[in-house]
Structure 1
Amino acid sequence: MLAAIPFPDITPEIVSFTIFGQTIALRWYAMAYIVGIALGWQIIKAALRRPNLWRDGPPMQISQLDDLLTYIVIGVIGGGRLGYVLFYKPAEYLANPLDIIKIWEGGLSFHGGFLGVVIGVYLFSRRHKVRLPALADIIAVSATPALLLVRCANFINAELWGRPTDLPWAVIFPGAAAQSCATALAPCARHPSQLYEAGLEGLLLGAVLIVLAFRFGALKKPWLLSGVFFAGYGLARFLVEFVRQPDAQFQSVGNELGLALHFGGYGLTMGQLLTLPMIIVGITVILFARRR
């Protein structure tokens, strides 16, 4: 018998209700963003209250934090939704453009949300004359709770699962796609890669950034924490890609590992190719910050 963990009896929706014939649901995925942003807000607030953490004092006043939160929320929701529409289902939403605003039905892209936050933080710094390096560093520290919770929500949604494995902590995810490797003798058990990412991108990276910021004075070195975030997130995602199910379009006969770039039986998945620039940029920024 295969030693594996059955998927828990939990649904993506926390609660749902109907208004004027339209069903609206509050999902764990949306709640992960809400709680993650709230925790990040508290981290920034705690840092702003400690002037000794900064080389030239806090980059902004606590009274400006609500305005920053507005920019971030708009960036997360707007960028995340547009990223999902453009990256995953452009033809479907082109045929039904009104469905784009139905965010209560789910569908947010991490990469789109990340880009939206970058744009929002830049616009906020320009409008309020806030030092961008210092702002970017504290945003990097505060982003990790959302990464942790969103990856846990991915697990609850039974999406972005890993490759098949016979490890004792493997999870039997529901759905025909997840069970495509099942046989008559045993179900298909897979790596819970969402939880791996939650641990690496959220817990571990978050702990490193918080300790550097609040214990070792890293906020006094502009761009250092931003570089650690880029390099840390990129490295975590690169490692998890070894056990994460690759994109279906890259799988073919003789390329079961779904390598987007392969040579002599070795290669890299698309996720690894996309994270390599993050690692390179992160290391470069760290070296730049240390030299300064």
Structure 2
Amino acid sequence: MPSTLPTVSSPEQVPRVLSVAGSDPGGGAGIQADLKSVAAAGGYGMAVVTALTAQSTTGVSAVHVPPASFLAEQLETLCADVTLDGVKIGMLATAEVVQVVDDWLGGLGGAGRPPVVVDPVMVATSGDRLLDAAGEEALRRLLARADVVTPNTPELAVLLGEPVATRWERVLDQAALLAERHQVLVVAKGGHLDGDLVPDALVGAHGPVLEVSGERLTTSSTHGTGCSLSSGLVTRYVRSGDWGDALRETKSWLAGAIAAGDALHVGRGRGPVDHFWVLRGQLAAAAPTVR
């Protein structure tokens, strides 16, 4: 019997992207969102778990952090076998966990080191701090291992030890300061600001490299947007080699995912985005018409 599998001539290498982050059992954020985002961007996602959470769309009730030694074992075992094309770092929970990841990233070294995007999960939606002072300081040191950092405005303020910016111009100034201090690129995000416009920008030490406009959507389906942006960004960068192009494409995709999120009907609180909204549209268009 002839094979029914499709054949592809000269296939492009699928980006192999690792998420090092916490778990969200509701699937909207953390490693679950990262894996979906990587897949939606055309990559193969892998996950090393830093923390387990008991949470839903209405909030987090508990966090369990496995021993840091087991985190190191996960990283070492995976990397002894799999070549990584990209890495996204998310929730790290404690100073000890941050140090394990810092040491691991330092060991990757060399010209062949995969690009690293750090989403510094430091401040909850409620405004509560998710890291103690030692953890925050360890995370600041970790930023030197990153290529791109994607803080929201409260996290940007914590990283700099400054008040939270309330104007887009100030967000850009703070992002440039962070970029200069740690020699990284920073994605400045306008989602926490007031107003109908939601700009994002790729910022270097001398200011914006690229600004991408956007409009605020009326929806409660915004859970996990930071996770989804950062993991989608690194995957698209692996494919294009250009952080600006990767940001444009990821922001456009994420806007569609947010708009489609309400149709998932998941939970009673802040619902997830629909990571596979493009695929669902393609499937609907290809479905036979029933008469």
Q: TM-score range by the shorter chain?
A: under 0.3
Higher fraction of helix: 1
State which structure, 1 or 2, has the greater radius of gyration over its C-alpha atoms: 1
TM-score normalised to the size of structure 2?
Answer: 0.26
Q: Which has the higher contact order (CA 8 A, sep 6+)?
A: 1
TM-score normalised to the size of structure 1?
Answer: 0.26
